[in-house]
Amino acid sequence: MFDKILIANRGEIALRVIRACREMGIKSVAVHSTADADAMHVRMADEAVCIGPPAGTDSYLRIPNIIAACEVTGAQAIHPGYGFLSENAAFVQAVQDHGITFIGPTAEDIRTMGDKITAKDTMKKLGVPCVPGSDGGVPDYETAQKVCEEIGYPVIIKATAGGGGRGMKLAESAADLETAFRTARSEGKSNFGNDEVYIEKYLGKPRHIEVQVFGDGKGNAVHLGERDCSLQRRHQKVFEEAPGPSISQELRDQIGKTCADAVANINYAGAGTIEFLYEDGEFFFIEMNTRLQVEHPVTESIYGVDLVREQIRVAAGLPMSFTQDDLEINGHSIEVRINAERLPNFAPCPGKVTQFHAPGGLGVRMDSALYEGYSIPPYYDSLIGKLIVHGRNRDEALARLHRALGELIIDGVETTLPLFDALLAEPDIQSGDYTIHWLEKWLETNLQ
């Protein structure tokens, strides 16, 4: 087992990894920008190293600085968290070239799944169902027209290197295609340095279902059920729950086994998430995230496992501490993402937190790096906390979420907390009857 692990991240996810390290008796190293000198993850770690000025491109994304911090402190492994360099194959390769262990999958697996066309082709070969669409990239507008005629409208054009909704455009008819095609290519080029796009059939009322998988890198893998992440704004998740309210145990076992078999086949190591659109009883693969997800706590809650601990164990060459037969669902869990944003426009709202009180009680977990007097910097993602609740069933989880939201106090900055109070009053949320388009439509008329 490792003696010391460096966490190449910040905020609540850095704290999450530090906590796992502490429970395992492993020393932790925090890295930080000058803007994060007083951050909670810096205070909680055993050691801390400044790696650059405020901008992420000059600090948290600077590979040489992070590796140097490892060498200075003697850290034997790096945990990337999520975001930043967590799915950067070049970073993984550089870490390994310096004799440091990367806590996650191989550079090859990250590279394969990071390119959406390659990932889709790989999953097809492994028996994972995919959305009808183009075979690979679409080089020009004329080819795009032919593909769309074959699969039928509406279609969605996606940048192969895209993410977070960037490089993704809808064409409802042939009249929309040229503008959507050229815009998607342009956004792919400007945001990711790659203008290649592919085309998929656009599903009318799908849910966003993702399956949590975990492999030991030696041909063994399990699935830990699914999460429903359909409540999204501009392709960004805001509310996640497990198990999915629309998924039967039979379907869960079926798609879970398909996903576990797929990652076992490629000797995948560590945590991963295979994401699907789900409609009319059918699953359609959209992408795989080769890292820990923001919403991993809901899976931890219903299965009673520590995914970060398992990541560290597998990276150290140890076997997983559970088998598929050991994994049984216990109750229901919901997570809401709390951002420092001003409603109704969701504009970032950095500033000083004058008061902070986290909710507590049975079945309540608050993952946050906030504290009274902390100044939220303007340089990074606006996510400032995740409130996770667990109940014996979905109704109890919803009631517990309502109670916990009433206890949570964040003063000094505006947040998205009022959004969740409003959502919990909606009959569709109470019944679990929503799709990936529900929230956008609701916001148009309810949050002005």
Catalytic residues: 291
What's the CA gap between 39 and 265, in Å, rounded? Answer: 41
- Give the start-end residues of each E strand in 252-381: 269-279, 282-289, 332-339, 341-342, 347-348, 351-352, 355-357, 364-368, 375-376
Whole-angstrom CA distances from 227 to 173, 289, 336 are: 32, 14, 13
Q: How many CB atoms lie within 10 A of CB 304?
A: 14
3-state secondary structure of 340: coil
CA 194 to chain centre: 22
First-to-last C-alpha distance (Å) of the chain = 53
Element (H, E) at 127: none
Q: Is residue 310 packed enough to be buried (19+ CB in 10 Å), middle (13-18) or exposed (0-12)?
A: buried
